[in-house]
Amino acid sequence: MAARRALRFTAMAEGSSIGSETLGQINDEVRRLTAAYPKLALPTLLGDLVEVQDLTFQLLEHGRVKPSQARELYLLAGITSGMLAKASHDLGNPSAAMMQARTAFVCADNADHHAMRAWVRSLQSLISYWAGRPGEAADYAALGQGAVGDVRGTTSVWLACLSARAHSLLGNGEATRTAIRQVEEARATVEPDDLDAFGGIMTFPLPRQLYYVAEATVQLGEDAALGESQSEAAVSAYRDATEDEWAFGDQAGAQTDLALARIARGEIEGAAEAVRPVLDLPVEQRNFGIVSSAQRVHAALHGAGRRSSGGAAAGLRQEIEAFTATPTSALVR
């Protein structure tokens, strides 16, 4: 709270013209938040995100901003709005998430930042995917890929991964496999850009790529053994990830994908072992994506022939029901 107050005081003290100290402090705060978002529970970050977005909006609306400062400030406002879009998504509100994402895209346009435009399209694809609209998710991924052009940062990898996941949910095997090939091609030509330099939520590291590809393969359902091996690779990558690569939500997603792959192979006890770390997460980390992933495991246990799996399946279903009954959104009003 004291740091937030200091940031606002600096902005006020420099007057209606934005000074270097104000812009520098906002930049530092946005970088702190982008690095923290994948690692910390949302309730600990939400107040700071709202504060920074409000401050950037006020400065853009009422401050005297030089053109070079305006471009940087619009980029910072876009990144903050993008994180708040992700926050709304994590709280299970896709409408608010998409509203924030559209604001982020307007900011990217005003900053004339090509990579940021592509990053927001990625975010819109993610929101649509988890909202149960895979066709829309595929369309947003295609929009982003069509606009990538000279973008060589890791956003290009994210877009291809999103395309693979969306098409797998649509049951389009050929499009899924094509997108997975595009993932490998994009990774091979990556040149980190200024968005990657922010780190955290603004970059797309290899463990996250492995998780998305595994999820696409598992959802497509054509090769359960391949889905299991890819999921194991993703889980292992998160186990060995550096601090900059680790994200509790994506790690949980990899664990649930491994559980789904094992259920498809009839290995209920193995599935229970895979999903155990997810079910042990505290309420403040049970965001919408994690809860939805756990519900997929619950639905798979009800699949054809799973009712005869005995007490292990029934017990696991009960645990998942208890886990999903109290999501993170219950803590935020």
Model pLDDT for residues 228-257, shown as the tens digit of each residue: 999 999 999 999 999 999 999 999 999 999
In angstroms, the CA 85 to CA 100 distance is 5
Dump pLDDT digits (tens) for 1-32: 555 555 555 555 555 557 778 899 999 999 99
Query: Which domain, by its residues, includes 92?
Result: 1-112
Q: Assess whether 227 and 294 both reside in one domain.
A: yes
Which amino acid, residue 208?
A: R
In angstroms, the CA 315 to CA 313 distance is 5
Instruction: Looking at 150-267, list the stretches that DSSP marks H as alpha helix, in order from N- to C-terminal side.
Output: 155-169, 173-188, 194-198, 206-220, 224-239, 248-264
CB contact at 8 A, 31 and 244: no
Q: Assess whether 106 and 133 both reside in one domain.
A: no
Cα 327 to Cα 40, 137, 239, distances in angstroms: 15, 24, 24
Kindly state the tokens that stand for 91: 């709280």
Number of structural domains in the chain: 3
b/e map of 20-39 (b: 16 or more CB within 10 Å)?
Answer: eebbebbbebbbbbbbbbbe
In a domain, 240, yes or no: yes
Is the pLDDT confidence value at 149 over 80? no
In angstroms, the CA 238 to CA 255 distance is 10
Of 112, 135, 162, which residue is a domain's last? Answer: 112
For position 304, what pLDDT does the model report?
43
Q: Assess whether 244 and 322 both reside in one domain.
A: yes
Q: Assess whether 165 and 253 both reside in one domain.
A: no
In this prediction the pTM is 0.92
In a domain, 89, yes or no: yes
Report the C-alpha dihedral over residues 257, 260, 264, 265, rounded to 10 degrees: 70
- Cα 111 vs. chain centroid, distance in angstroms? 23
In angstroms, the CA 113 to CA 180 distance is 27
Q: Assess whether 52 and 144 both reside in one domain.
A: no
Dump pLDDT digits (tens) for 129-144: 999 999 999 999 999 9
Among the ranges given (37-41, 71-75, 148-152, 227-231), the one the predictor scored with the smallest mean pLDDT: 148-152
Which residues sit opposite 64 in a β-bridge? 17
Q: Assess whether 5 and 85 both reside in one domain.
A: yes
Is the pLDDT confidence value at 158 over 90? yes
